[in-house]
Amino acid sequence: MTSDSLKKIMFGKPLKSSEMESEKMPVWKGLPILSSDALSSVSYGTEQILLELATVGIAAFAFSLPIAVSIIALIMLLVLSYRQVIEAYPQGGGAYMVSKENLGMVWGRLTGVSLLIDYTLTVAVSISAGVQAITSAFPSAVPYIVPITLVLVWIMVWLNLRGTSESGTIFAIPTYFFILCILVLVVKGIYDMLTGSINTHPIAFAPSSMTSSLTLFVLLKAFSSGCSAVTGIEAISDAVPHFRSPSVKNAKRTLVSLGSLLAIVFGGVTVLALGYGIVPDPNGHTSVLSMVTEQAFGRGAMYYATQIGTMLILVLAANTSFNGFPILASIMAQDKNFPRMFAFRGDRLSFHYGIITLGVLASILLIGFKGKTDALIPLYAIGVFLSFTLAQGGLVRKWLRERVKGWIGKLLINGLGGIVSLAVLLIFSITKFTEGAWIVIIITPLLLWIITKISHHYDDVAKQLRIDITIERVCTKEPLIIVPVAGIHRVVAQSLNYAKSLSPNVIAFYVSFSDEDEELMQEKWEKWDPGVRLVIFKSRYRTILKPLAEFIERIDTHVSEKQNIMVILPQFMPKKWWHRLLHNQSAARIRSKLQADKDIVVATVPYHLHE
């Protein structure tokens, strides 16, 4: 089986550029592909709130509902704000494009870095939380958390390398299955509470008794932890061009659907956790959602169905990043703010460099943090709220400058969104600093410096390569061709014939290691008489590279008019791959040395052996 056949089986047949439109998403595919990150946060958003409140006592759980309501209000505000991002920037890029065009390239780079960090953490958090759903139902899997997370990450990489259309179809079924399970859970839980089921408790909207340890700082920590449920909303605005026409309308419809579903499932699970009197597991082996489901349905078929659905959507939530990261990286690469190879699509029209890079980075995080969701959460959300803040600030400046129809209303929405996002960013940075947020706070400016250096490098290269087409012309002068030879054989003969077809100025260059060797080569050459002058250098230190480099330098120095020099390397190609390890090492070293140090053309003339 050839490598091309294996590649086709693994990743599918190559797609034509003209098939791009068929790879774009309708709304029903866009929701599972781009919204699973936000929707899946129901599995850990409520839990993170309760874990913070549990540090001061169970009585503080009464504050979880007001905190959840405030987070839902934030979600609605961000949905309104990002609808305007979609409308103003239908070419995609989301917060990065907004910041770059309205605040300047430096702020655009900062936004891009923040989102790339958040996308990477989204994969790690979603996969680790998905595995937590498995260990909640099957505790025997706890020792294998890290291997399971890595397998799931690379399954996601493989699916995304196959292309958006196929992965979207695969992801749609489990996402809608999860939504159905959670909606059934919420309905069942509310029914239990309304009918006074034996395992429910009245919900208190304020604690009946409180200790002095419940401070504003604790409440802010709980709020910031719960804000992990907000991440993922921005992904839809990044991927507007990937929706089918009309792309803007479809993207906005998907965003509203996401906001509505997120409010229902996040708020519903928080209410049920209070109603069933759930206390989170401090070890993190059993999730709050698992406990709520068990209270509602017992450990029956519906319980396991919900846990499986939760695990699947958490794993698939990583797909939001596998779409967002490569798209954003490609846009930044086109702006020279990221390595250029990230701008190119592979055979399946996917940005394969971005997909593989994200898989590697997420794997490193999961290994480093041992696949623990609680350890990863403090790093989470800083990047996305920084991008929220910059995007809203950029739109405020845009409306003030352009004064389009309805600009005052747009200004108020984005202004409020920017203030709230900044407040959440500060709260998260302060309350989670010692728990790991400092890592992101340090890495963000470091990565900003790196991509700034990348951008400056591309600018410098472009400046050095730029020509004035009105002055500079293509040189038609025949080059001087040097053919390094190690003896007289078919490969040398073929290379000399090729060189003579390009230019009459051909020199064969031979390095001898002794006087006897020099005399013998000179005698053989004169007898052969190929019509090419032979120059022999004697190497006292048995090296080939230095004499060749000195010969080229001598030509450059002594020729009055600038001479174009070309080096042609004869090279025979054995049929078997392991035979190649036994030959051609000198040619490889010569090529590497000359291309690194000289502005000359180095070409290879291959001669294929039969055996």
What digits encode the pLDDT tens for the residues 419-432?
988 988 898 888 88
Q: How far apart (Å, rounded) are the C-alpha atoms in residues 14 and 277? A: 54
pLDDT digits (tens, 9 = 90+) for 50-93: 888 888 878 788 888 889 899 999 889 888 888 888 888 887 76
Residue 458, pLDDT score: 87
Task: Report which residue type is found at 305.
Answer: A
* Structural domain contains residue 26: no
* Structural domain contains residue 22: no
What CATH number does residue 551 fall under? 3.40.50.620
Which residue range forms the structural domain that includes residue 503? 480-608
Query: Using CA of residue 478, residue 484, residue 487, residue 491, what is the dihedral sign?
Result: negative
Q: 429, 459, 489 — which closes off a domain?
A: 459
**Other Cβ atoms within 10 Å of 456 Cβ, number:** 11
Burial of 338 by CB count in 10 Å (0-12 exposed, 13-18 middle, 19+ buried)? Answer: buried
* Structural domain contains residue 348: yes
Total number of domains in the chain = 2
Co-location of 265 and 129 in the same domain: yes
pLDDT digits (tens, 9 = 90+) for 256-280: 988 888 888 899 999 999 888 888 8
**In 411-564, where do the E strands start and end?**
480-484, 506-512, 533-538
Co-location of 137 and 283 in the same domain: yes
Residue 167, pLDDT score: 53
Co-location of 438 and 505 in the same domain: no
Co-location of 92 and 209 in the same domain: yes
Q: How far apart (Å, rounded) are the C-alpha atoms in residues 235 and 323? A: 8
Q: How far apart (Å, rounded) are the C-alpha atoms in residues 186 and 266? A: 10
Co-location of 511 and 436 in the same domain: no
Q: How far apart (Å, rounded) are the C-alpha atoms in residues 546 and 550? A: 6
The pair of structure tokens assigned to 455 is 């951008």
pLDDT digits (tens, 9 = 90+) for 546-598: 888 888 888 877 765 667 888 998 887 777 766 666 655 677 788 778 777 77
Of 14-28, 144-158, 215-229, 343-357, which has the strongest mean pLDDT?
Answer: 144-158
Predicted TM-score (pTM) of the model is 0.70
Q: Is the pLDDT of residue 362 over 60?
A: yes
* Structural domain contains residue 70: yes
CA distances from 59 to 68, 197, 220, 589 (A): 16, 21, 17, 73
Give the whole-number percent of the chain exceeding pLDDT 90: 16
Give the list of residues 6+ apart from residue 433 with CB closer than 8 angstroms, or none.
441
Considering only the C-alpha atoms of the chain, give the largest distance between any 2 of them, rounded to a whole number of Å: 109
* Structural domain contains residue 18: no
The residues facing 604 across adjacent strands are: 569
* Structural domain contains residue 66: yes
| C-alpha torsion angle, residues 392, 396, 401, 402 (rounded to 10) | 80
Q: How far apart (Å, rounded) are the C-alpha atoms in residues 156 and 502? A: 51
Co-location of 231 and 93 in the same domain: yes
The secondary structure of 135-200 as a DSSP string is HHH-GGGGGGHHHHHHHHHHHHHHHHHT-HHHHHHHHHHHHHHHHHHHHHHHHHHHHHHHTT-TT-
Size (the chain), residues: 611
Co-location of 408 and 514 in the same domain: no
Co-location of 59 and 206 in the same domain: yes
Co-location of 208 and 272 in the same domain: yes
* Structural domain contains residue 260: yes
Co-location of 507 and 372 in the same domain: no
CA distances from 212 to 54, 209, 215, 437 (A): 14, 10, 7, 27
pLDDT digits (tens, 9 = 90+) for 111-142: 999 989 988 988 888 888 878 777 877 888 78
**In 348-484, where do the E strands start and end?**
480-484
Burial of 252 by CB count in 10 Å (0-12 exposed, 13-18 middle, 19+ buried)? Answer: buried
* Structural domain contains residue 48: yes
> Collapsing DSSP states into helix, strand and coil, what is residue 470?
coil
What CATH number does residue 193 fall under? 1.20.1740.10
The secondary structure of 8-58 as a DSSP string is HHHH-S---GGGTGGGSBPHHHHHHHHHHHHHHGGGTHHHHHHHHHGGG-G
Co-location of 226 and 342 in the same domain: yes
Q: How far apart (Å, rounded) are the C-alpha atoms in residues 430 and 331? A: 32
The mean pLDDT value of the chain amounts to 82
What's CA 492's distance to the chain center, in Å?
48
Task: Specify the DSSP class assigned to residue 231.
Answer: T
218 contacts 64 by C-beta, under 8 angstroms: no
Co-location of 141 and 170 in the same domain: yes
Q: Which is nearest to 102 in space by CA: 115, 88, 87?
A: 88
CA distances from 191 to 62, 203, 288 (A): 20, 14, 19
